[in-house]
């Protein structure tokens, strides 16, 4: 987009429907900061894998009352068309980020101005509770204001439908088109306060009860008492419910990192509030070492993802990656269903195309169907919705998300926190650690090792670089990776799978919605996936390698061999 076009878009924000402060800021950008002006107005903020996220500020490419107001007006129009004879209801939650409470009220105002009944949480709440509350309050949709683990300058807007899951095709595109057809002057900001009801504790109590019911598995009270837990919410929303759920489930030996217990959108004690990063859990790990804790759990700002650290073979606390946590949790759930005689061929586990292949191997060994979708839990929620004859056991994705059962239709760090403690407590009662159980799974199903490489490419130039990188991978496909022949390429943008392990190349159609993802598989089971992030200015590469593990005593040796192999792949692809 030319600067003239950007300037024209910005000047349209000097009209009377925008408040004086907004107009003043736009004038300053027009006069003094062309670079920021271009970043703020060169496009409309888009919905990605986790809803809409962006930097807060003025402009069409920013999170502000006008972009969110327009979203909500478009959603209101769509709801009225879809449910013409119903009294519409929506529920709204928000996290700890700057301006979240104020923006949530803007969203509530617009809904109410359109005659839609609104349940607005009076204080911040975790995202999984919002997903739960959509069904619990019999709402047509739900909104949560959050930017997950993005930096402090970000906020976001996630939309949930009647089933408690996020928007999926075709509804998402239909709503986007409705929003795009609107002018800002058409947004109704004048609230009907009679239609806005504040929600306090009544949903909390129901959610805590449901979380305990779904996350508890006959752990003895003695085992619970013997488990020493350290928990940190990393200044986020999980502090509201996770300690309550653990207490309600009978866990009394819980030590909270008080320095990180106060919700704060500036995240003052961490560089990034992302439980995927060991540095984010530094204070929790230090506290755990001080009190000799068995397990450390940290959650992200909106309380839907969790990082888990447990004692390794040397007795030192080690942060598991998302694939490892998912494997142990899924194994445990499968075991519980098996013990209860509930596996009858009508169950499934859900995950994503960039998660560890080991999950499929393990799940199918239990006689349970394995389903795979695009990145994002909205696709797992869709699996549940599309398969009413199958029971969803659980599942997750490599980016530290997990969902236990289907009472919540999004990743749920609250119930998953309880589940992790149940597993750790039961393993400790048997004289082994959760980590040792993971090694036993590796011995049974093969040692799979994964690594994620994220290349940050900010701004307009960064977006163009990412586009070119993906185009190059398609136009010049890899035929070998670290000396291994490529036998299968899955291109989700074209919905085609290209097989090269046969006498003649074979092309199949992928039965998954189109997405800008490319996955290579080699003759030895190596997997390399490339995808631009849907919520951050990044391109991500997911590498998975594997080897047999004949004896857990050889774990470190085989793990190092796989680490060396990943290093070779990174060098091959120029990712190091």
How far apart are alpha carbons 128 and 207 in whole angstroms?
9
- Starting at the earlier edge strand, list the strands of the sheet with 229-232: 254-256, 229-232, 295-299, 306-311, 317-319
Q: Which of 76, 148, 351, 416 is catalytic?
A: 148
| Structure tokens belonging to residue 320 | 């598991």
**Do 539 and 532 touch, CB atoms closer than 8 A?**
yes
How far apart are alpha carbons 435 and 312 in whole angstroms?
6
Radius of gyration of the chain (CA): 24
The reply to whether 148 belongs to the active site is yes
CB atoms within 10 A of CB 461: 9
| Structure tokens belonging to residue 24 | 């003043």
CA 52, distance to chain mean position in Å, is 13
Give the C-alpha distances (Å, rounded to integers) separating 361 from 340, 442, 446.
22, 11, 9
Helix (H) or strand (E) holding 289: helix 282-291
Residue found by looking up tokens 């909104």 in the block: 143
Helix (H) or strand (E) holding 508: strand 506-509
DSSP state for residue 167 in the 8-state scheme? P
Sign, CA torsion 324/436/306/380: positive
Give 419-485 as a DSSP string. Answer: HHHHHHHHHHHTT--HHHHHHHHHHHH-EEEEEEEEEE--HHHHHHHHHHHHHHHHHS--SEETTEE
**Do 530 and 541 touch, CB atoms closer than 8 A?**
yes
Contacting residues for 557 by C-beta, under 8 A, at least 6 apart = none
**Do 446 and 357 touch, CB atoms closer than 8 A?**
no
How far apart are alpha carbons 574 and 576 in whole angstroms?
6
**Do 322 and 401 touch, CB atoms closer than 8 A?**
yes
How far apart are alpha carbons 45 and 67 in whole angstroms?
8
Best CA proximity match to 188, nearest among 69, 294, 105: 69
**Do 441 and 551 touch, CB atoms closer than 8 A?**
no
- What are the residue numbers of the active site? 148
């Amino acid at each position: 987009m030319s600067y003239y076009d950007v300037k024209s878009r910005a000047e349209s924000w000097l009209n009377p429907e925008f408040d004086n402060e907004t107009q003043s800021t736009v004038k300053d950008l027009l006069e003094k900061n062309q670079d920021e002006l271009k970043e703020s107005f060169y496009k409309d903020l888009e919905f990605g894998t986790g809803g809409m996220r962006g930097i807060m500020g003025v402009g069409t490419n920013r999170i502000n009352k006008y972009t969110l107001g327009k979203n909500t007006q478009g959603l209101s129009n769509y709801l009225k068309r879809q449910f013409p004879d119903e009294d519409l209801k929506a529920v709204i939650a928000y996290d700890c980020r700057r301006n979240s409470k104020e923006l949530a009220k803007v969203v509530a105002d617009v809904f109410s101005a359109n005659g839609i009944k609104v349940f607005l949480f009076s204080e911040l709440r975790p995202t999984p509770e919002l997903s739960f509350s959509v069904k619990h309050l019999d709402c047509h949709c739900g909104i949560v204001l959050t930017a997950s683990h993005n930096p402090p300058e970000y906020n976001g807007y996630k939309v949930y439908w009647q089933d408690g899951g996020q928007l999926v095709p075709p509804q998402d595109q239909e709503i986007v088109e409705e929003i795009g057809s609107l002018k800002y002057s058409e947004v109704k900001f004048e609230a009907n306060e009679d239609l806005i009801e504040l929600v306090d504790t009544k949903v909390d109590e129901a959610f805590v009860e449901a979380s305990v019911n779904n996350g508890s598995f006959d752990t003895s009270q003695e085992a619970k008492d013997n488990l020493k837990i350290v928990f940190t919410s990393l200044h986020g929303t999980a502090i509201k419910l996770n300690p309550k759920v653990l207490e309600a489930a009978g866990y009394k030996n819980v030590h909270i990192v008080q320095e990180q217990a106060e919700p704060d959108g500036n995240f003052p004690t961490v560089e990034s509030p992302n439980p995927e990063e060991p540095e984010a859990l530094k204070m929790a790990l230090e506290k755990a070492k001080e009190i000799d804790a068995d397990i450390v759990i940290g959650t992200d700002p909106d309380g839907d993802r969790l990082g888990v650290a447990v004692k390794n073979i040397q007795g030192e606390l080690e942060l598991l990656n998302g694939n490892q946590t998912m494997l142990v949790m899924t194994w445990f759930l499968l075991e519980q269903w098996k013990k209860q005689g509930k596996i009858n061929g009508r169950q499934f586990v859900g995950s994503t195309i960039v998660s560890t292949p080991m999950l499929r191997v393990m799940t199918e060994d239990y006689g349970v169907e394995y389903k795979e979708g695009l990145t994002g839990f909205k696709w797992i929620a869709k699996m549940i919705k599309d398969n009413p004859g199958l029971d969803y056991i659980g599942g997750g994705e490599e980016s530290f998300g997990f969902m236990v059962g289907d009472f919540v239709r999004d990743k749920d760090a609250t119930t998953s926190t309880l589940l992790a403690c149940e597993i750790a407590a039961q393993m400790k009662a048997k004289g082994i650690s959760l980590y040792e159980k993971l090694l036993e799974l590796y011995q049974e199903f093969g040692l799979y090792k994964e690594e994620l490489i994220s290349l940050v490419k900010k701004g307009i130039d960064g977006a163009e670089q990412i586009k070119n990188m993906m185009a190059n991978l398609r136009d010049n496909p890899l035929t070998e990776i670290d000396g291994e022949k490529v036998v299968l390429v899955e291109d989700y943008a074209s919905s085609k799978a290209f097989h090269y392990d046969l006498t003649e190349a074979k092309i199949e159609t992928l039965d998954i919605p189109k997405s800008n993802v490319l996955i290579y598989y080699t003759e030895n089971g190596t997997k390399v996936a490339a995808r631009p992030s849907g919520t951050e200015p990044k391109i991500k590469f997911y590498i998975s390698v594997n080897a047999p593990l004949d004896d857990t005593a050889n774990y470190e040796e085989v793990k190092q061999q796989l680490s060396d192999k990943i290093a070779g792949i990174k060098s091959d692809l120029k990712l190091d």
